[in-house]
Amino acid sequence: MKIAMFHYRGRTSPGIVIDDRIVDFGDDFQTALDILKLEDWQLREVWGRAESRIISAPELVQSVADVTFDAPVPRPGKIMCVGLNYLDHAAEQGKEPPSAPMIFAKYGTAITNHLAEIVLPPNSAEVDYEAELCVVIGRTGRLIPIGEAYDYVGGYTIINDVSARDMQRQDKQFTRAKSCDTFAPLGPWVVTKDEIPDPQILSISLTLNGEVMQSSNTNQLIFNVPFLISYLSQSMTLEAGDLIATGTPGGVGVFRNPPVFLKDGDDVAVTIEGIGTLRNRVVSSQQSAVSSQQSVVSSQWPVVSSQ
């Protein structure tokens, strides 16, 4: 089942996507996460209601093409990210696969929507893309054994872990570089785990202006989904709505020869088998609808040149 948040004619609702239609559940639930947290039998009941509404309540059924999608989890408690987690991504950097996951964070304010703009900040010239499978935690837990890890998964979505490589170098760590506003496109929807019994066999790809830049499979993951959930939960409580960005495969822009960075007008699309396609347009901060706020920031802070 695909669970989304969407706008249609001034109304924002959680909805269930069935083929090319979306069924409005705004009278029943406030958020997509409210649906994702349900028990399996309750989810089956929601699915049954969605199917019957297509016939009985056409006013609650819209074409997917006519609605605007919000991120399915707009403000997660935490976004836990994994660096160097694909064999092909480690190889392109000439690095040995790590012996333990490399964990870092992205702030929730970076999240933006499917078909929304990725805004290039004025203080970076090296903004890069990273296609990633994103686990959405559906149930709170800690000290989770690997064998029980899937019980804590609500579903899966797509995240583009957009990254300012020059900020990474300046800071010698990732937080600021990965947390610029709009650097976490998320969506378009969450696919419940019953539809993806094994998240380690999914093709994953990214196109830039239609050209394939990343093409891999989650079978290249060094640390798989159950391991990551268990590993993270040894240190911190995982809460419903938390996100785990599981890492990106090879083909990112910074390691290409010559390097490729995002520029104004680019079209970036991430596709994961069984989930769908997350698409965004890139704009410079001057072109962006939020440029008025950002120009205040850029006039107060000097632009740091890259090394």
Read off φ and ψ for residue 237, nearest 5 degrees: -70, 130
Q: Which of 248, 271, 288, 294 binds Zn ion (CB under 5 A)?
A: 248
Give the shortest CB-51-to-Zn ion separation in angstroms: 37
Q: Are 152 and 229 in contact (CB under 8 A)?
A: yes
Among all chains, which residue has been given the structure tokens 């990254």? Answer: 163
The dihedral over CA atoms of 69, 73, 79, 80, expressed in degrees to the nearest 10, equals: -100
Nearer to Zn ion, 1 or 254 (CB): 254
Which single residue brings its beta carbon nearest to Zn ion? 161
Q: Does 128 bind Zn ion (CB under 5 A)?
A: no
Which one of the spans 64-72, 127-135, 165-173, 216-224 is the region binding Zn ion (CB under 5 A)?
127-135
Nearer to Zn ion, 35 or 110 (CB): 110
> Distances from the Cα of 58 to the Cαs of 2, 3, 48, 67, in angstroms?
19, 18, 15, 15
Q: Which of 161, 166, 242, 266 binds Zn ion (CB under 5 A)?
A: 161
Give the shortest CB-163-to-Zn ion separation in angstroms: 7
Give the shortest CB-130-to-Zn ion separation in angstroms: 4
Give the shortest CB-67-to-Zn ion separation in angstroms: 29
SS3 at position 220: helix
Q: Are 195 and 209 in contact (CB under 8 A)?
A: no
Give the shortest CB-261-to-Zn ion separation in angstroms: 16
SS3 at position 105: strand
Give the shortest CB-217-to-Zn ion separation in angstroms: 17
Whole-number Å distance between alpha carbons of 168 and 150? 33
SS3 at position 237: coil
Helices and strands per DSSP (H, E), number in the chain: 7, 19
Which DSSP category does 81 fall into? E
The contact mask relative to Zn ion for 197-236 (x = CB under 5 A, - = no) is: ----------------------------------------
Q: How many CB atoms lie within 10 A of CB 267?
A: 12
Q: Does 117 bind Zn ion (CB under 5 A)?
A: no
Which one of the spans 18-26, 232-240, 247-255, 294-302 is the region binding Zn ion (CB under 5 A)?
247-255
Q: Are 192 and 32 in contact (CB under 8 A)?
A: no
Q: Does 130 bind Zn ion (CB under 5 A)?
A: yes
Residues 6+ apart with CB under 8 A from 197: none
Which one of the spans 94-102, 144-152, 223-231, 245-253 is the region binding Zn ion (CB under 5 A)?
245-253
Nearer to Zn ion, 70 or 130 (CB): 130
- Chain residues that interact with Zn ion, rule: CB under 5 A: 130, 161, 248
